[in-house]
Amino acid sequence: MAQDLAAVAKQIRRDIIEETAAAGSGHPGGSLSSAEILTVLYFDKMNVDPANPRWADRDRFVLSKGHAAPVLYAALAERGFFPREDLKTLRDIHSHLQGHPNMNDTPGVDMSTGSLGQGLSVANGMALAGRLDGKDYWVYCLLGDGEIQEGQVWEAAMSSAHYKLDHVIAFVDHNKLQIDGPNDKVMTVNPVDEKFAAFGWHVQVIDGNDLEAVSAAIDAAKAETGRPSVIVCETLKGKGVSFMENQVGWHGKAPNAEQAAEALAELSAE
């Protein structure tokens, strides 16, 4: 794996800290856990054009867990969809970077999300539209593990398999924590892999914080035909910042100035 992808992932993590600290609110934990997924997608796999965000033949990305907007904004800024200095306007009332993604205001955002459980349905619709239009683009969808407690996810999973949507590739950010505590205490989602397999999906389970593993899994998913693919990413909530790692309290709490400085120093140490 190219060393520059590791550098991009680290920069995205720094951006997440700076964004949420500047806003005084936001969701750093699940943004940090999914940095490798978005790094590989936007800087290696996805066919997109920052100069033409609405290009009809582009690959699509749906951030179903829309509260992780800081990681998406960081990836889009690093990819050149809008200036990096915009990141520090996160959640400002006059900013195009709101707490959840808005496709009408933010270049590179393919779907407005935030009401949990709906993203996979949207991804299905995009893939079906591509099939009808004779397009060959890929549709990627990132789900939270707490989010898959939503029944609509499984209705969508059933539809994906029924319509043989092999251009849908979903990721589950399985960091095992949600806003109210551990998944297993709130409402267990395990076994995630067996559930998707039972719905007719091609399933892989990987280390979702390993760039090479994410890349290889996407390649394997793209080689599948006749069924959708899901990549269950075993990740660490708050990955990269030691005092945030595996701590449920950082699901939806921004670091203060002192905590942000500590996190940034840690992320810049290597």
Which domains, ranges and CATH numbers included, belong to the chain? 3-267 (3.40.50.970)
pLDDT over 70 (residue 84): yes
Q: Which pTM was predicted?
A: 0.97
> CA–CA separation, 250 vs 194, rounded Å?
29
| Encoded tokens for 162 | 């029924």
* Model pLDDT for residues 222-235, shown as the tens digit of each residue: 999 999 999 999 99
pLDDT exceeds cutoff 60 at 158: yes
- For 46-69, what is the mean pLDDT? 98
When pLDDT is averaged across residues 40-51 and rounded to a whole number, the result is 98
Distance in Å from the first CA to the final CA of the chain = 18
User: What is the spatial distance between Cα 212 and Cα 220, in angstroms, rounded to a whole number?
Assistant: 12
Q: What mean pLDDT comes out for the span 109-116?
A: 97
Q: Which amino acid is at 234?
A: E
How large is the average pLDDT for residues 14-31?
98
Q: What's the rounded mean pLDDT across residues 23-44?
A: 98
At 267, is the pLDDT very low, low, confident or very high (cuts 50, 70, 90)?
very high
* Residue pair 131/144 in contact by the 8 Å Cβ criterion: no
Position 2 scores a pLDDT of 54
38-41: long-range contacts, CB 8 A cutoff, minimum separation 24: 38/12, 38/71, 38/72, 38/74, 38/75, 38/142, 39/5, 39/8, 39/9, 39/12, 39/75, 39/211, 40/5, 40/211, 40/214, 40/215, 40/218, 41/75, 41/140, 41/218
Provide the pLDDT confidence category of residue 269 given band limits of 50, 70 and 90.
confident
- Average pLDDT, integer, range 76-81: 98
Report how far residue 190's alpha carbon sits from residue 39's, in angstroms, rounded to the nearest whole number. Answer: 27
Q: 148 is written with which tokens?
A: 């898959």
Contacts of 221 (CB under 8 A, 6+ apart): 169, 202, 204, 229, 231
* Percent of the chain whose predicted confidence (pLDDT) is above 70: 99
Average pLDDT (169-179) is 98
Give me the mean pLDDT over the 201-215 stretch.
98
Instruction: Give the amino acid at 202.
Output: H
pLDDT of residue 3: 59
CA distances from 92 to 10, 65, 203 (A): 25, 20, 39
More confident residue, 173 or 3: 173
Task: Please give the Cα distance from 270 to 257 (Å, whole number).
Answer: 21
What span, in angstroms and rounded, lies between the C-alpha atoms of 154 and 158? 6
pLDDT for the residue numbered 1: 43
Residue 173 to residue 44: CA distance in whole angstroms = 19
